[in-house]
Amino acid sequence: MKLVKLGAGAVNQTPLDWAGNRDRIVAAIAEARRQRVSILCLPELCITGYNCEDAFHAPGLQRTALDVLAEIAPHTGEMAVAVGLPLLFQKALYNTSCLLVDGRIAGFAAKRFLAGDGIYYEPRWFKPWRPGHRAQVDIDEVDYPLGDWIWDVGGVRIGFEVCEDAWVAARPGAQLALRGVDVILNPSASHFAFGKFAVRKRFVTEGSRAFGVAYVYANHLGCDAGRIIFDGGSLIADGGVLAAVGPRFLFHDQVVTAATIDIHANQMRQARTGSFQPTLEGEAEGRIELEIGYPELEPEPPAAPPAAWEDGADLQEEEFTRAEALALHDYMRKSRSNGFVISVSGGAD
């Protein structure tokens, strides 16, 4: 057995709240460390906040995000932690997730499929990363891997699907599976909508089954800005089974959901699958090897089931009440308002 504890962190961020966003990320890392998590996924664009809108194109935002990343890195000793931020490369801005390993930057994975419908406007600010493309990005005179890489961290191979990447037919996970990935991290910013949590659970569990991986999904929490409500609900699946389901609609700054996964059992499950045909040509190409030690762990019982209301007959009413309460609370405190005025007129208005 090779038991590794995986974690997904939901954080309640605010656009451009540099110190607050950093502190919540650091607190999530500390909580994950307390739970003996070795590989932690945090949401996309969690350093800046998801809804910075046209401010994403400000050079000051891009530079400050890198400065905050450098402040977070030392807190990741003996861990692998994914954090999201925008990154400028060759005159294009990319939505990336940076993998920090043992206190240092290991590289950046870039989002391939951008959300540009409904309430999302990502193509206004970002460019999609080209599948199969790998590059080196210069940050303060140091080159770091950027793009379609796999990170072999202490013998555990890690790849990325960033939010929308998992919602499309041509999911990157299919190619990651053929390249022998053990864990797929999905840093997301998925807004609340009725029935959407069930869809997320389906693509996470099916991704873990079809790709033969442990799948870690991390989402934002709270009212980031404007009209978007994030419900949290981090997910970890292995072999087509949910190993852990995080709580939703909590009034917390950060919540870490964790599960212990047997990486060797995961690998042997693929070895026994007759239809699995790995890509063997240039096997070492596009792979970065990093040393890290994993603590000795004991098998753990299944995680506690979700709250009773999640499976109740009044799920939609529960979701509405909890979403509105969290959104109004967050909007009031983040806008520094003192309350709300509610009209109770009985007229035609």
The dihedral built from the CA positions of residue 177, 78, 34 and 12, taken in this order, carries a sign that is negative
Q: Which residue is catalytic, options 5, 44, 122, 223?
A: 44
Amino acid, res. 218: A
Q: How far apart are alpha carbons 271 and 269 in whole angstroms? A: 5
CA distance 233 to 231: 6
111 catalytic? Reply is: yes
Express the helix, strand and coil content of the chain in percent, nearest 5 each. Answer: 30, 30, 40
- Per residue, the 3-state secondary structure of 271-334, as one string, reads HCCCCCCCCCCCCCCCEEEECCCCCCCCCCCCCCCCCHHHHCCCHHHHHHHHHHHHHHHHHHHH
User: Which residue is listed with tokens 């890690």?
Assistant: 158
Beta strands (DSSP E) in the chain are 3-11, 39-41, 80-89, 92-101, 104-110, 134-139, 142-147, 150-153, 156-160, 183-187, 214-218, 221-222, 230-231, 235-238, 241-245, 254-262, 287-290
Query: Among residues 111, 122, 223, 319, which one is catalytic?
Result: 111
Whole-number CA gyration radius for the chain: 20
Structure letter (DSSP) for residue 191: B
Residue of 46, 52, 163, 223 marked active site: 163
Query: Residues 6 or more apart from 252 whose CB is under 8 A from it?
Result: 12, 221
44 is catalytic: yes
Active-site amino acid positions: 44, 111, 163
